[in-house]
Amino acid sequence: MKNEFKLQDPGEGIHEVEILEIMVSEGDEISEGQEVMAVESDKAAIELPSPFAGKVAEIRVGQGDTASVGDVLMVVEDEDAPQKAEAAPQEEKRADGEHDAPEDQDAEGATEAEEDPSPEGRTEEEAREADDAPSEEEQDADKGGSDETGEEARDSDDDRRDAEGRDTGGASEESPVRAAPAARKLAREKGVELADLKPSGKDGQVTLEDVQEAGGAEDAQAEGKADRDDFGPVERRRISAIRAATARAMTRSWTEIPHVTHEDAADITELELWRRRQPQEDRLSLTPIIAKAVVAVLKRHPRFNAVYDGDADEIVLRKYWNIAIATATDRGLVTPVLKDADRKSARDLGQEIVALAKKAKDQKLGKSDLAGGSFTITNVGAFGGRGLAPLINPPQTAILGVGRARIEAVVTSDLDADGPPIIEPRMILPLALSFDHRAIDGADAARFVNEIVGLLRDPVSLALET
């Protein structure tokens, strides 16, 4: 018996996933619960266990494909199924009463009852059932009364199903050719007609390789020419599930949240000198230090660690401090979360940031890694730029953007000081706080940033505060 392993609904509004890795091959023996595929939704990357044990008879998707809920990912053959099927008729017989009489049954009495067809030998209920039952002639008439004979009906059904009883869809107008979902997707992208291909798969199914070969031939004929718009050549690329999720979240953020951005700069000269005195292998980056400063200030300004509930006209103040760190990957932006950041040292947070960044790069982030953030920090300093106006990560009420720290010439003397002005090189860190104006006012934002600036300016105060 062959079992179809379909993509089940993982919940949370997820309708499709991208196939990251296929961990088995056709012909492999697998066990129930064995992880066979790694997929990525707009929430996280997850590994799918097989609900069946047996031999992998067919894999219907390929790496990089997009599969929707209900799509068949692979077919698993259960070699023990025939034995189970043979046992089933015996069970049906027993259910119909065609079983041996118990040893202590009165066999003589049973025989007499079977041989007595008279009404006196039956109960009233049995008599009614016998009177209502159709005769053999009526049964024959019923069988021949349809538009097709039983044999024709079986032939028609065979046209719609393959040897394993799967619905091929091959007889319908909508799906005239049997093909795996991955093959159909690639055919649409390359403009290949499935009906024009010679199928090489089992039971006449068009495989992914069939479409790839045909697409390769057409690509060669096109000599690399791309699609065109009204002004010149263009190229279309499908975005990753993560980037699609980011697009939806940022659209929601921009359209639903009234943003205001407050900008400032922190003089981190003393902090930078302290960092440089540390051994290279123990030197912390700025991000975990900023995270500790943010947590300290969030405790005094809880509206920045909240959710605005417009339906209830309420502000939900969170009593936990989980800091989401925006992380750039090849597949898009993700925001893994530092859970309970108030209970961890800056060094612990630094190690956790490195570990989460590696998981993000290797596409190993799980749902728990991305859930529960109460405030977000996005540090673009490594990529350059003097500042930014970040978009809030819904349903949070604020996000802190950090630019690249630079050495700048700063006047440190007062205007009324005697002599020429004193100019010193100082390390300046740009900061930009975007906040939800429904929950937070501009004065609150100014005070919030001022306190962060004060902690970053003085490492001793920062150490005492955190």
The C-alpha atoms of residue 232 and residue 340 are separated, in whole angstroms, by: 52
pLDDT tops 70 at residue 28: yes
Annotation marks residue 437 as catalytic = yes
The dihedrals phi and psi of 146, each to the nearest 5 degrees, come to -80, 170
pLDDT tens, residue by residue, 127-157: 444 454 444 444 444 444 444 444 444 444 4
Q: How far apart are CA 338 and CA 422, in angstroms?
A: 42
- The whole-chain average pLDDT of the chain stands at 79
Q: Which residues contact 218 (CB under 8 A, 6 or more apart)?
A: 190, 191, 192
Tokens of 150: 């039983």
Q: Give the predicted TM-score (pTM) of the model.
A: 0.61
Residue of 432 and 187 predicted with greater confidence: 432
Residue 461 burial (10 A CB sphere; 0-12, 13-18, 19+): middle
Report for 134-143, 242-251, 425-434: range of highest mean pLDDT: 425-434
Work out the pLDDT band at 216, boundaries 50, 70, 90.
Answer: low
Cβ proximity of 253 and 391 under 8 Å: yes
Spell out the domains of the chain, with CATH numbers in brackets.
2-77 (2.40.50.100), 241-465 (3.30.559.10)
Quote the pLDDT of residue 114. Answer: 41
Task: Indicate which residue of 99, 259, 301, 437 is catalytic.
Answer: 437
Angle separating helix axes 442-457 and 286-298, nearest 10 degrees? 130
Report how far residue 92's alpha carbon sits from residue 74's, in angstroms, rounded to the nearest whole number: 32
65 token code pair: 């494909």
